[in-house]
Chains A and B, each alone.
Chain A
C-alpha cells in the first residue's frame, strides 16, 4: 500500500506543454505513472509525445480532460500568475487530488483556492512542493525516481532537496519507502503534516514515519501533539534552520521565524516532548528509525 497515489492513479498534467511541465511529464511516464491527459488552453487536440512511442492527448480545459480520460489526479506546472486559477479549475473538474508544484503563487490567491477545494472535498498538495512518489507504483511531481525504493517507511517533508537527501540515506541503508510526500514550503498549503501522518497511520504497509520540518509556523508543533495522541507507529524527525536568523525568509516563503515563534528549537522540543526522536543531522535519521522499528 501507499498513501494518496498508487497503481490506480490516472494523472492529468496542467501545463504539459511548458518547459517544466513537458520535462517532468517525460520523467513521470518513464517512472511508469499512468499519464492519461494534458491540459494547455489553446492546444487542445494536440498530442504530447511521451517515451517509448507513448502519446498523451492534450485538452483545452480540465473538465474535458477528466470527462474523456477519467483522470483522478492532477499535477500543476503552470506559471505563478495562473497557478491558483489552475487549482480552482482542477478542484471543479472531478479529480480527487491536485498537486501544485508551482513556486511563487500569491498567498491571497491560494487562500481563496484552498477554501474552494475544501468545499469540494478535493485534496490539494502544495503549492511550492516537489509532489509525491509511491515507489514502484506512481510518481506525481518532481521527486527523482532513481533514489527511492519500495519499503516500510513513510516520509513527509516541507522541503524538496532535503527530502532527496533523507531518502538517499534511507535507501542507502536498505530502508525503502511506502510514499514520500513533499507538502511544500509555502505559508498556506493544502495538505499538512497531520494529514500525511493520519494517512500513514492508516496504511498497513507503513511501519514507521520520517518527518522533516523547518522553521516558520507551528505545523510541526501541532503534528507532534497529533503523534502522541493518535499514532501507534514510530515517528522520527529533523528540523532544518537551527542556524537561521529571526525575521529573514530562508528561501521558502513560509520559512521565516516571526518574532520568537517558529524557531527550530521550539519545534525540536515539541518533537522530543511528544516521543518523536530528533536527528541532529540528516545522517542520524537512519539510525533513529532503525532503532524505533526494532
Chain B
C-alpha cells in the first residue's frame, strides 16, 4: 500500500527526522489560509500516489498566500497519470543548498532491507543507478541488529564532507530505518534530503510503501489508506477478500490462484483478445466470493464475455459452480459466461452447472478461445 507524502512525513517526524511543517488543503481557500499562516514563500504539492508530480506541474512555488490559492486551484482536480489530485500539501519553502538521496527498501536478492544513498538527489534515482552507479553507495542491513551507528556514518560520509552535516545525516539515516521498520514498510525514501545554507539537514520530501501483510497489526497505518485513489471496483474486491486489478480489455477473468490468473490473462492475449482484469478468487472459495467476483467483473462496462478458469485443489469446483448459479439468480449478468472447471469435486460441479443450463469445458485453451470469440462478437 502506498501512502501520501504528508502521511510519510508524519511517520518520519514520529521517528525524530527533521521534516519542515506542512498542512493539507482540499480547497484553494484552505491553501490560502495555510500559506498566510506561514507567511513568505510556500510550496504547494499535489498529494497523489504517483511519481513525476513535479514534471506534471503538481508541485509549485508560491511567493504569497494569493499565489498559493492560485496554484492550489490549478493543482486540485488535476489528473496525474490517471489519478485525480484531491489534496495538496502546503509547506514553507526551504533555502536549499544541496540535495541528496536517501532510501531504504526490502531487497529480494539480499533478503534484507538495503539502503541506497547518493549525493545526486532530487532526481530519478533509478536513472542515477543505471547511468552512474559509482555515485550510489549501498548497504544491506542485518535484520538481527538493525542499522549500526558506524554503518549509518559510512553512508552519511558518502554524502557530505562537513562533519556537522555527516553527523546530522547519520542520525537521519538511523531514524529512517526506525520509521521503515515501525511502519512495516517495504520502501521509505527521502528525495531530496537537503542541506540549508545555515548548515541544517532536512527531509523535504517523503515517500513510503507499506507491506500489505503488515496492515493487520498496524491499524494506525491502515487508517492512512486513501480509497479515493483506487478504482471503486478494487476497493470492493479488497473488502470481499479478492485480489483484483482492473485492466482495459473486454474479457472478464475469474480464476483461482495468482499464477494461473496471470497465465489465463496471457492466454486471452495469445488468442487475440484483451483481458479486462486480473482476479484471483483465492484458495478456499465459498459461493459468496464468487458472487462478489461476478458483481465486480460485471460492473466494468467494457466486459463483453466472462471467463472462469478454476483448477480445484483446495478450491472445490462445486463451491464455485454453486456461486456461479447463485450469482446469476441474484444479479442480472449481461455478458455471456464460459466456464472451465477441473480438479476437486469436478463431477459434482458439472452436474450443478448443467442443471442450471451452463456448459463447462475441461481445457484451459478451449475456454479461453471461446471467451475471446464471444467478446469479439461471435456466437
Query: Which residues of B have CB within 8 Å of A23?
Result: 314
Name 11 A/B residue pairs within 8 A (Cβ), A-sorted: A107-B211, A108-B214, A116-B144, A159-B257, A161-B259, A165-B311, A243-B262, A243-B268, A251-B243, A251-B261, A282-B364
Query: Which residues of B have CB within 8 Å of A158?
Result: 259
The 8 A CB mask of B273-288 against A (1 = contact, 0 = none) is 0010010100110000
Q: Does A269 contact B (CB under 8 A)?
A: no
Q: Are the CB atoms of A254 and B311 closer together than 8 Å?
A: no
Q: Are the CB atoms of B344 and A144 closer together than 8 Å?
A: yes
- Count A interface residues, CB 8 Å: 61
The 8 A CB mask of B139-156 against A (1 = contact, 0 = none) is 000111000000000000
Partner of A252, one of B106, B217, B259: B259
Q: Are the CB atoms of A161 and B365 closer together than 8 Å?
A: no
The 8 A CB mask of B320-336 against A (1 = contact, 0 = none) is 00000000000000000
Query: Which residues of B have CB within 8 Å of A147?
Result: 343
Of the 9-residue stretches A3-11, A50-58, A213-221, which lies at the interface with chain B?
A213-221
Q: Does A242 contact B (CB under 8 A)?
A: yes
Distance from B303 Cβ to chain A, minimum over Cβ atoms (Å): 16
A106-B213, A249-B212, A253-B212 are contacts. A243–B265 as well, Cβ < 8 Å? yes
Q: Are the CB atoms of A144 and B343 closer together than 8 Å?
A: yes
Interface residues of A in 242-280 (CB under 8 A from B): 242-245, 248-255, 259, 264, 280
Q: How far is the CA of A130 from the CA of B283 in the complex (A)?
A: 11
Partner of A281, one of B216, B217, B365: B365
Q: Write the residues of chain A forming the contact surface with B, with a CB cutoff of 8 angstroms.
A: 20, 23-24, 80-81, 104-108, 111-112, 114-116, 130, 142-144, 147, 157-165, 168, 185, 187-188, 212, 214-215, 217-219, 222, 238, 240-245, 248-255, 259, 264, 280-283
Q: Are the CB atoms of B245 and A108 closer together than 8 Å?
A: no
Of the 9-residue stretches B60-68, B107-115, B197-205, B292-300, which lies at the interface with chain A?
B107-115
Distance from B23 Cβ to chain A, minimum over Cβ atoms (Å): 29
Q: Are the CB atoms of B364 and A245 closer together than 8 Å?
A: no
A162-B259, A243-B269 are contacts. A81–B113 as well, Cβ < 8 Å? no
A106-B214, A188-B108, A251-B280 are contacts. A159–B259 as well, Cβ < 8 Å? yes
Partner of B111, one of A114, A159, A222: A114
Distance from B307 Cβ to chain A, minimum over Cβ atoms (Å): 14
Shortest Cβ distance from B279 into A: residue? A251
Q: Are the CB atoms of A240 and B259 closer together than 8 Å?
A: yes
Chain B CB count within 10 A is highest, among A157, A165, A214, A219, for A165
A108-B214, A159-B257, A244-B278 are contacts. A115–B313 as well, Cβ < 8 Å? no
Q: How far is the CA of A270 from the CA of B113 in the complex (A)?
A: 26
Partner of B262, one of A160, A187, A241: A241
Q: Are the CB atoms of A250 and B313 closer together than 8 Å?
A: no
Q: Are the CB atoms of A165 and B278 closer together than 8 Å?
A: no
Q: Are the CB atoms of B263 and A162 closer together than 8 Å?
A: yes
Query: Which residues of A have CB within 8 Å of B275?
Result: 243
Distance from A259 Cβ to chain B, minimum over Cβ atoms (Å): 5
Q: Are the CB atoms of A240 and B263 closer together than 8 Å?
A: yes
Query: Which residues of A have CB within 8 Å of B269?
Result: 242-243
Q: Does B186 contact A (CB under 8 A)?
A: yes
Q: How far is the CA of A80 from the CA of B256 in the complex (A)?
A: 20
The 4 closest A-B pairs by CB, nearest first: A159-B259, A251-B258, A161-B257, A162-B259
Q: How far is the CA of A135 from the CA of B83 in the complex (A)?
A: 50
Q: Are the CB atoms of B111 and A188 closer together than 8 Å?
A: yes
Query: Which residues of A have CB within 8 Å of B109?
Result: 217-218, 222
Query: Which residues of A have CB within 8 Å of B213?
Result: 80, 104-107, 253
Shortest Cβ distance from A161 into B: residue? B257
Q: Are the CB atoms of B311 and A161 closer together than 8 Å?
A: yes
Shortest Cβ distance from B271 into A: residue? A281
Q: Does B356 contact A (CB under 8 A)?
A: no
Distance from B63 Cβ to chain A, minimum over Cβ atoms (Å): 35
Q: Are the CB atoms of A161 and B245 closer together than 8 Å?
A: no
Partner of A259, one of B126, B262, B283, B342: B126
Q: Are the CB atoms of A164 and B343 closer together than 8 Å?
A: yes
Q: How far is the CA of A156 from the CA of B258 in the complex (A)?
A: 16
A159-B259, A282-B263 are contacts. A106–B211 as well, Cβ < 8 Å? yes
Shortest Cβ distance from B127 into A: residue? A259
Q: Are the CB atoms of A159 and B265 closer together than 8 Å?
A: no
Partner of B245, one of A238, A240, A248: A248
Q: How far is the CA of A255 from the CA of B270 in the complex (A)?
A: 21
Interface residues of B in 304-360 (CB under 8 A from A): 311-315, 342-344
Query: Which residues of B have CB within 8 Å of A159?
Result: 257-260
Q: How far is the CA of A105 from the CA of B181 in the complex (A)?
A: 15
Query: Which residues of A have CB within 8 Å of B184?
Result: 106, 108
A108-B211, A147-B343, A251-B278 are contacts. A160–B216 as well, Cβ < 8 Å? no
Query: Which residues of B have CB within 8 Å of A157?
Result: 259
Q: How far is the CA of A137 from the CA of B143 in the complex (A)?
A: 37
Q: Are the CB atoms of B212 and A168 closer together than 8 Å?
A: no
A106-B214, A240-B262 are contacts. A161–B313 as well, Cβ < 8 Å? yes
Query: Which residues of A have CB within 8 Å of B344?
Result: 144
Distance from A30 Cβ to chain B, minimum over Cβ atoms (Å): 13
Query: Which residues of B have CB within 8 Å of A264?
Result: 266
A242-B266, A243-B275 are contacts. A112–B143 as well, Cβ < 8 Å? yes
Shortest Cβ distance from A259 into B: residue? B126
Distance from B96 Cβ to chain A, minimum over Cβ atoms (Å): 26
Query: Which residues of A have CB within 8 Å of B56?
Result: none
Distance from B145 Cβ to chain A, minimum over Cβ atoms (Å): 10
Query: Which residues of B have CB within 8 Å of A188?
Result: 106, 108, 111
Shortest Cβ distance from B129 into A: residue? A259
Query: Which residues of A have CB within 8 Å of B280?
Result: 251
Query: Which residues of A have CB within 8 Å of B211?
Result: 106-108, 253
Q: Are the CB atoms of B284 and A245 closer together than 8 Å?
A: no
A159-B259, A251-B243 are contacts. A81–B311 as well, Cβ < 8 Å? no
Q: Are the CB atoms of B284 and A160 closer together than 8 Å?
A: no
Q: Are the CB atoms of A160 and B270 closer together than 8 Å?
A: no
Q: Does B123 contact A (CB under 8 A)?
A: no
